[in-house]
Amino acid sequence: MKVSVHGCGYLGAVHAAAMAQLGHEVVGIDVDAAKVSVLNAGRAPFYEPGLPDLLAEGTTRGALLFSTDAADAAGADVHFLCVGTPQSAGSGVADLHHLDAALAALRPHLRPGDVVVGKSTVPVGTAARLAAELPDGVRLAWNPEFLREGHAVDDTLHPDRLVYGVPRDEVADGGETARSPEPGGAAARLDAVYARLLADGVPRVVTDYATAELAKVAANAFLATKISFANAMAEVCEVAGGDAVALVGTMSYDARIGGDYLGVGLGFGGGCLPKDIRAFSARAEELGVGRAVAFLEEVDAINDRCRDRAVELVRSACGGLAGRRVAVLGAAFKPDSDDVRSSPALDLARRLAGEGADVVVTDPQAIALAQAAAPELRYATEVAEAVAGVDAVVLATEWPEYRDLDPAALAAVVRSARLVDTRNALDLAAWRAAGWDARSLGGASVVTHDASRPGEEMVTG
């Protein structure tokens, strides 16, 4: 099939490359000429494992090309909208101007029979509005994307579910649509696009627009809630003398709860979770059901307090912050990404600097983007350079290379061997054995008395 993809950021570039890999002829459209030329050279404009190979393969084969001209989308059977829907300045409302602009540029090139497919995360009700703006004979589907940065290629080629929001007339027959989509309908077109994934047994849900739009925000709201639940338990543990890591560990054995997204630490960031829960709250308010998701404000507040608690932990470790030299390991919002949007790590570095600490930040991939977002901070490309002569080392993004650091070697180059692990990623016992004052968020590594073994102490965490 011929496929166009509008918006070539973290979502669209991966989607375009993955569609070429599935055997389609793909054109990716983006307004950023520099990004388009990097993509046409078969290179990735951001760090995403596996993407460079996919882009190189697709462009070399001639199945994948990129353009700044929406007219190049003419003739495609399916047009995917993959532009960003960031948070508006000064409110939680999603800013849809990129989406509206992409559709306005595409509209003159649509012909009857085309299917436009929204993948961007949008407030519920957006698809119905956009469908009404399409030319006659052009159908709209909403097909939310659940990929995680850092795993984007695999998540796109091996998704855990496909969700299609399709026009009312296609869902009117209830479950039937799911079994045999109406020929010529939006669901049938998407089935053809994703034929290989469906043959692999990926479950797909065909539903109405509103449910499909909500499928994405509900999932992200739930994930954010799980993370903040763990971090709320950490707040309690810190004053009650418990160990939050051990606590959520006990919960994770319950199959109904599971252990994913219960990591105790600095909390969530990135281009999705923070803005999606705020946009969900704002949209629910508009719909008069703000109370139904009022808890998301608390989820956001708990997440923000993780950063405050991390600042206080560094302050207490160092006996003050003013003038203290602090190395922050990590700037990306999570490992395997160079994305610093709403990054807890970068925000922590900023807050420490704001309290008078002399902060140097390092990251394996995100320094360039961090420097652009927070030019006031100092950066070092290597850990050894970042930690030389510091009063404290703060782990803020749990990159694998930081988990593997040698505490004895590092102790030799710092001024004071103080470690604050805000991600509960390091083996604090090993760091302590190498002479470090090692602390972590959530009251972990509390030394308790094990009554079953008199005279022995049990270290948890």
**With binding defined as CB under 6 A, does residue 333 bind ligand UDX?**
yes
**With binding defined as CB under 6 A, does residue 359 bind ligand UDX?**
no
- Number of residue whose CB is nearest ligand UDX: 263
- Please, are residues 376 and 354 in contact by the beta-carbon 8 Å criterion? no
Position among 268, 280, 402, 431 found at the interface with ligand UDX (CB under 6 A):
268
H runs (alpha helix) in 133-266: 152-157, 168-171, 176-179, 186-193, 195-199, 209-240, 244-252
Position among 52, 109, 257, 261 found at the interface with ligand UDX (CB under 6 A):
261
Q: How many residues bind ligand UDX (CB under 6 A)?
A: 20
Position among 125, 146, 154, 182 found at the interface with ligand UDX (CB under 6 A):
146
**With binding defined as CB under 6 A, does residue 330 bind ligand UDX?**
no
Count CB-CB contacts under 10 A for residue 118. 30
Please identify every residue annotated as catalytic: 272
**With binding defined as CB under 6 A, does residue 270 bind ligand UDX?**
yes
**With binding defined as CB under 6 A, does residue 338 bind ligand UDX?**
no
**With binding defined as CB under 6 A, does residue 220 bind ligand UDX?**
yes
Identify which of residues 30 and 145 has a Cβ nearer to ligand UDX in the complex: 145
CA distances from 268 to 42, 271, 304, 401 (A): 32, 10, 9, 20
**With binding defined as CB under 6 A, does residue 84 bind ligand UDX?**
no
Instruction: State how far the Cα of 165 lies from the Cα of 175, in Å rounded to an integer.
Output: 13
**With binding defined as CB under 6 A, does residue 147 bind ligand UDX?**
yes
Number of alpha carbons in the 13 Å side-chain half-sphere of residue 119? 25
Sign of CA dihedral 319, 322, 325, 328: positive
Interacting residues with ligand UDX between 272 and 301 (CB under 6 A): 272-273
Q: Judged by CB under 6 A, which stretch of 40-48, 108-116, 145-153, 370-378 contacts ligand UDX?
A: 145-153
**With binding defined as CB under 6 A, does residue 262 bind ligand UDX?**
yes
Identify which of residues 184 and 258 has a Cβ nearer to ligand UDX in the complex: 258
Q: Which two tokens stand for residue 181?
A: 């989509």
Instruction: State how far the Cα of 110 lies from the Cα of 91, in Å rounded to an integer.
Output: 34
User: Which run of H or of E encompasses 440?
Assistant: strand 437-440
**With binding defined as CB under 6 A, does residue 7 bind ligand UDX?**
no
Identify which of residues 198 and 219 has a Cβ nearer to ligand UDX in the complex: 219
3-state SS assignment for residue 348: helix
Q: Judged by CB under 6 A, which stretch of 63-71, 111-119, 142-150, 287-295 contacts ligand UDX?
A: 142-150
* CA nearest to 278, candidates 117, 95, 39: 95
CA distances from 355 to 308, 321, 431 (A): 11, 6, 27
**With binding defined as CB under 6 A, does residue 305 bind ligand UDX?**
no
Identify which of residues 2 and 148 has a Cβ nearer to ligand UDX in the complex: 148
Residues linked to residue 116 through DSSP beta bridges, in sequence order: 79, 140
Position among 98, 204, 325, 334 found at the interface with ligand UDX (CB under 6 A):
334
Q: Judged by CB under 6 A, which stretch of 94-102, 159-167, 260-268, 403-411 contacts ligand UDX?
A: 260-268
Position among 94, 223, 346, 417 found at the interface with ligand UDX (CB under 6 A):
223
**Minimum CB separation from ligand UDX for residue 337, in Å?**
7
Position among 242, 267, 442, 443 found at the interface with ligand UDX (CB under 6 A):
267
- Please, are residues 198 and 204 in contact by the beta-carbon 8 Å criterion? yes
H runs (alpha helix) in 107-179: 126-132, 152-157, 168-171, 176-179
Count CB-CB contacts under 10 A for residue 150. 22
Q: Would you give the end-to-end CA distance of the chain in angstroms?
A: 53
Amino acid at the residue 69: D
**With binding defined as CB under 6 A, does residue 66 bind ligand UDX?**
no
Position among 48, 114, 149, 363 found at the interface with ligand UDX (CB under 6 A):
149
* CA nearest to 206, candidates 175, 239, 164: 164
Contact positions toward ligand UDX, by CB under 6 A? 145-149, 220, 223, 227, 261-263, 265, 267-270, 272-273, 333-334
